Amino acid sequence: MIDELIVQLTKMGISDYEKVMQVMSTIPRHIFAPIGFERIAYEIAPVLIDEDQTMSSPLTVAIQTIVLHPQPSDKILEIGTGSGYQASVLSLLCDKVYTLERHKILHEKARSFFKDIKLKNVYPFLKDGFEGLANEAPFDKIIITCGADYVPETLLSQLKIGGEMIIPLNDSETNYMKRILKLSDDEYYEERFDGFQFVPMLKGIN
């Protein structure tokens, strides 16, 4: 999987991948996949999990992580725990990961996986991602792993000045990924990355 990821990233002109590839090579991706789908977990494709959600393609995980630029001292908020794989990758690159999931089944399974592989700096919550986690804000980085129709102001307000957010946004029939750098309370720098597909970001607890 790692060799194929490097090929794909190189084709896309992404070269700053060594640290992320090293981390992804150490995490057993198959444990986050449903029983019977373990081998598929290492293919460059998303994997269907409970609640009609998906474990993102390892290429998407790699790109989101590389673009987010996680640092050893960062406190990161993840919206959409899903299988727990993305949070696990981030946990080896930063200080703390707070991850929110609206589906109780996914939340409980991911929490169990985190314990199984002894990740002590990942803090999972069953919570509406649109609300963020105000009592732990501000965050150095925020990563959203599901496609939203807009950038939630609540999440922007929980981002440090100088912090970064990665969020997939819906555009007609496709998604694009946006990187937002918070320059001040009302000033932002934005970049767009095309060619991605994500499950929708929804409100409430399920």
Distance (Å, rounded) from C-alpha 51 to C-alpha 74? 30
First to last CA, the chain: 33
Nearest to 46 by CA among 177, 201, 197: 197
For residue 22, give every residue at least 6 positions away whose Cβ sits within 8 Å of its Cβ, in sequence order, or none. Answer: none
Q: Which residues contact 66 (CB under 8 A, 6 or more apart)?
A: 9, 14, 16, 17, 20
Instruction: Classify 126 in phi/psi space as left (phi over 0), alpha (psi -120 to 50) or beta.
Output: beta
Asked if 56 is an active-site residue, the reply is: yes
Q: Which 3 state secondary structure label does DSSP give 63?
A: helix
Which one of 25, 56, 91, 112 is the catalytic residue?
A: 56
Question: Who contacts 54 (Cβ-Cβ below 8 Å, separation ≥6)?
Answer: 46, 47, 48, 82, 199
* Cα–Cα dist 175/168, whole Å: 6
| Catalytic residue IDs | 56
